[in-house]
């Protein structure tokens, strides 16, 4: 491997892959990934089908299991993270990620809503969080480009102008069709939807969720055939994942180095970044140098590496403001059959709760409609186990069918405030590569908890409209711990003031002009959009800034 590059990118997830693809056309690029490229998709699907526990990580464990797990991925709350219970940790941080070529998009759902214009200035408008140093208008052209790069299918007419979010271009593909269940839910809401004054008395309308899955063959990948296993793996590659742009970057002559765990970003005395040191899975150390380094790990691994390197932390903000989207589900048994487990796990949502004056008092949220029966908590296998206590034969088969085809899930995804005490630091415990594990402190603020009551009201009204018996309702409440969305954000936030932010509006470190940070770690606030599309938009914008900076340095 060469020792000198124009650009070294750390992390081959969606952010690193997009940047590598764009820059490799003109510059000498090295893309380092701690995890492996791994087996072919079909073999990963086989591992998922036959896993005893079909967890998020089940398709992706290296086979055969190496003696040392050099780049462990969290697949639970305590197998990798250090988060001891106690006052530092009122709540458990549950979101995880995959350290592998292509990153966690391998097991994402593909939802691609944009942030709203108000999400970029929540402090000015609603008095919480911190305004972004960029606006929706700054990002809008990049959102369009990101939708093309990822291949997002959506309904332009429906979403153009949503809470002021204009769309200058249509989606590259028509929408993913709503499910039979969506149509039945929309029908039920027309007649029975309750209206609330704090949500502008408007009725609840289902919108097609924009998704990075193909509604027609696109970018050399096939159309979605509704295999219903997007999480944790699409068997045909109809859903976008980061490997798409890794492959494009490699075709553009970027060097991909898998199983390369960066242990340190190196800097000269004047603060300029000189390169990185990494170890391979055999424990051998390597050093490479570059004109510019892009840190594109994720919102836990990126601050971890900055803390290990002792860099970019003049503001003391590195690792702080760790966010997720607290998420929960409401369940019911509908009067009419909805036939779940056919098609993508979700195809529609309700966007009307994403903005309004209520955000001064409690959190915004987005609802998504499930096509997966009892969701994460009441799987068909669980229903089977319950029935098996008393039933067998034809009676079992009939009761199972009658229940599951009527089960319905609605989920919420809520915004949480960035809190400086929610934090990634270095643990005293090390992983197999002798690198400190991430130590997490996490809590969810009252502002978000207060929203849970309103969310439960909304859910109750929707589920009752479906004709569910009240005793079949399961609603989120304060004592039910919410689930994780996998949306790890914050920890290296962008801003204009070097004293309270880590990177500037171009995602360039305030302290090191040739260090850029990509990914959702730069988000000052989380809004109510699944983060990947915004990650992609910011990455594409950043790639242009980097290209300009490299050109300037040549002259």
Partner 1 sequence: MEDLFLKLSAILTGFDDLDPKLGSLYYKELMKASGPPFTALLQTFSSKVLGHAASTGHPASADQPAPAGNPEDLLRENIWNVMDFQILSQAIINLWYTATLKLGNVTWVAPPEAYFDSLLWRAIEAHPPAVSGGYFGYWRYPPEN
Q: Residue holding tokens 């299991």? A: 65
Residue 48 binds to partner 1 (criterion: CB under 8 A) = yes
Q: Residue holding tokens 């992706």? A: 60
- State which of positions 374-413 bind partner 1 (CB under 8 A): 380-381, 384-385, 388, 392-398, 400-401, 404-405
Closest separation in Å from C-beta 503 to partner 1: 39
Site string for partner 1, 216-245 (x = CB under 8 A): x------xxxxxxx---x-x----------
CB-based contact 34:259 (threshold 8 Å) = yes
Element (H, E) at 145: helix 136-150
Q: What CA–CA distance (Å, rounded) separates 455 from 482?
A: 12
Stretch that binds partner 1, among 109-117, 179-187, 283-291, 295-303 (CB under 8 A): 179-187
Report which of 6, 19, 21 is spatially closest to residue 554, judged by C-alpha positions. Answer: 6
Q: What CA–CA distance (Å, rounded) separates 455 from 458?
A: 5
Q: What CA–CA distance (Å, rounded) separates 235 from 171?
A: 24
Residue of 62, 92, 155, 180 interacting with partner 1 (CB under 8 A): 180
Binding residues for partner 1, total number by CB under 8 A: 49
Residue 430 binds to partner 1 (criterion: CB under 8 A) = no
Q: Which is nearer to partner 1, 395 or 421 (CB)?
A: 395
Residue 110 binds to partner 1 (criterion: CB under 8 A) = no
Rounded alpha-carbon distances, angstroms, from residue 507 to 94, 308, 434, 516, 548: 27, 20, 30, 6, 14
Rounded alpha-carbon distances, angstroms, from residue 524 to 80, 122, 299, 443, 494: 26, 10, 12, 17, 6
Q: Which is nearer to partner 1, 127 or 393 (CB)?
A: 393
Residue 183 binds to partner 1 (criterion: CB under 8 A) = yes
Q: What CA–CA distance (Å, rounded) separates 112 from 148?
A: 12
Q: Which is nearer to partner 1, 45 or 542 (CB)?
A: 45
- State which of positions 51-70 bind partner 1 (CB under 8 A): 51-52
Residue of 179, 255, 302, 468 interacting with partner 1 (CB under 8 A): 179
Residue 178 binds to partner 1 (criterion: CB under 8 A) = yes
Closest separation in Å from C-beta 384 to partner 1: 6
In this structure, what DSSP letter does residue 118 have? G
Q: Which is nearer to partner 1, 35 or 178 (CB)?
A: 178
CB-based contact 410:474 (threshold 8 Å) = no
Q: Which is nearer to partner 1, 215 or 255 (CB)?
A: 215
Closest separation in Å from C-beta 50 to partner 1: 5
Give the catalytic positions in this structure: 487
Closest separation in Å from C-beta 382 to partner 1: 11
Closest separation in Å from C-beta 474 to partner 1: 19
Q: What CA–CA distance (Å, rounded) separates 272 from 266?
A: 9
Closest separation in Å from C-beta 176 to partner 1: 8
Report which of 41, 91, 436 is spatially closest to residue 222, judged by C-alpha positions. Answer: 41
Q: Residue holding tokens 């300037």? A: 552
Residue 142 binds to partner 1 (criterion: CB under 8 A) = no
- State which of positions 188-217 bind partner 1 (CB under 8 A): 215-216
Q: What CA–CA distance (Å, rounded) separates 139 from 145?
A: 10
Q: Which is nearer to partner 1, 48 or 442 (CB)?
A: 48
Closest separation in Å from C-beta 224 to partner 1: 6
Closest separation in Å from C-beta 538 to partner 1: 31
In this structure, what DSSP letter does residue 522 have? G
Closest separation in Å from C-beta 208 to partner 1: 12
Q: Residue holding tokens 């790990």? A: 297
Q: Which is nearer to partner 1, 90 or 217 (CB)?
A: 217
Q: Are strands 285-295 and 515-517 parallel, antiparallel or unpaired?
A: parallel
Stretch that binds partner 1, among 42-50, 193-201, 442-450, 454-462 (CB under 8 A): 42-50
Q: Which is nearer to partner 1, 78 or 385 (CB)?
A: 385
End-to-end CA distance of the chain: 28
CB-based contact 231:161 (threshold 8 Å) = no
Q: Which is nearer to partner 1, 232 or 275 (CB)?
A: 232
Q: Half-sphere exposure of residue 105, counting CA atoms within 13 Å on the CB side?
A: 35
Taking each helix axis from N to C end, the angle separating 532-554 and 136-150, rounded to the nearest 10 degrees, works out to 100
Q: What is the DSSP string of 376-401?
A: TTB-HHHHHHHHTTT--HHHHHHHHH
Q: Which is nearer to partner 1, 390 or 555 (CB)?
A: 390
Q: What CA–CA distance (Å, rounded) separates 116 from 178?
A: 23
Q: What CA–CA distance (Å, rounded) separates 543 from 445?
A: 35
- State which of positions 299-358 bind partner 1 (CB under 8 A): 337, 339-344, 347
Closest separation in Å from C-beta 179 to partner 1: 5
Residue 371 binds to partner 1 (criterion: CB under 8 A) = yes
The partner residues of 48 in beta bridges, in order of sequence, read none
Q: What CA–CA distance (Å, rounded) separates 489 from 419?
A: 12
Q: Which residues bind partner 1 (CB under 8 A)?
A: 45-46, 48-52, 177-180, 183, 215-216, 223-229, 233, 235, 337, 339-344, 347, 371, 373, 380-381, 384-385, 388, 392-398, 400-401, 404-405
């Amino acid at each position: 491997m060469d020792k000198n590059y124009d650009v070294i990118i750390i992390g081959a997830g969606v952010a690193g892959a997009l940047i590598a693809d764009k820059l490799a056309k003109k510059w000498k690029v090295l893309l380092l990934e701690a995890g492996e490229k791994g087996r072919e998709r079909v073999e990963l699907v086989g591992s998922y089908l036959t896993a005893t526990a079909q967890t998020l990580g089940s398709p992706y464990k290296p086979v055969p299991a190496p003696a040392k797990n050099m780049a462990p991925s969290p697949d639970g709350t305590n197998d990798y993270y250090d988060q001891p219970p106690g006052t530092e940790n009122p709540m458990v941080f549950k979101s995880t990620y995959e350290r592998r070529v292509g990153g966690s998009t391998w097991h994402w759902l593909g939802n691609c809503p944009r942030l709203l214009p108000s999400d970029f200035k929540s402090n000015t408008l609603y008095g919480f969080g911190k305004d972004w140093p960029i606006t929706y208008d700054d990002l809008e052209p990049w959102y369009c480009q990101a939708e093309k790069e990822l291949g997002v299918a959506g309904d332009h007419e429906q979403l153009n102008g949503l809470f002021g979010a204009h769309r200058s271009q249509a989606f590259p593909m028509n929408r993913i069709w709503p499910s039979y269940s969506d149509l039945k839910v929309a029908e039920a809401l027309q007649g029975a939807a309750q209206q609330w004054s704090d949500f502008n008395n408007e009725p609840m309308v289902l919108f097609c969720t924009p998704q990075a899955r193909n509604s027609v063959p696109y970018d050399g990948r096939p159309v979605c055939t509704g295999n219903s296993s997007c999480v944790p793996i699409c068997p045909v590659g109809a859903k976008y994942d980061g490997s798409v742009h890794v492959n494009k970057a490699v075709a553009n002559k970027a060097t991909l180095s898998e199983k390369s765990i960066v242990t340190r970003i190196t800097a000269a005395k004047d603060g300029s970044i000189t390169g990185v040191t990494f170890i391979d899975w055999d424990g051998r150390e390597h050093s490479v140098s570059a004109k510019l380094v892009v840190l594109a790990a994720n919102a836990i691994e990126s601050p971890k590496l900055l803390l290990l390197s002792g860099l970019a932390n003049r503001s003391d903000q590195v690792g702080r403001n760790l966010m997720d989207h607290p998420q929960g589900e409401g369940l019911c048994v509908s009067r009419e059959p909805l036939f779940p487990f056919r098609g993508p796990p979700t195809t529609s949502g309700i966007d009307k709760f994403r903005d309004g004056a209520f955000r001064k008092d409690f959190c915004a949220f987005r609802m998504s409609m499930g096509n997966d029966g009892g969701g994460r908590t009441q799987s068909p296998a669980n229903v089977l186990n319950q029935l098996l206590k008393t039933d067998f034969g034809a009676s079992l088969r009939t009761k199972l069918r009658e229940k599951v085809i009527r089960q319905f899930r609605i989920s919420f995804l809520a915004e949480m405030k960035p809190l400086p005490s929610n934090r990634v630091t270095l643990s005293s415990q090390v992983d197999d590569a002798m690198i400190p594990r991430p130590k997490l402190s996490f809590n969810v603020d009252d502002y978000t908890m207060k929203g849970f009551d309103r969310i439960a009201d909304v859910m109750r009204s929707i589920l009752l409209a479906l004709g569910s018996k009240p005793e079949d309702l399961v609603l989120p409440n304060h004592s039910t711990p919410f689930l994780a969305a996998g949306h790890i954000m914050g920890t290296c936030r962008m801003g204009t003031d070097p004293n309270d932010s880590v990177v500037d509006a171009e995602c360039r470190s305030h302290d090191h002009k040739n260090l850029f940070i990509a990914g959702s770690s730069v988000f000052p606030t989380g809004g109510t959009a699944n983060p990947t599309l915004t990650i992609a938009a910011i990455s594409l914008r950043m790639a242009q800034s980097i290209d300009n900076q490299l050109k300037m340095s040549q002259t």
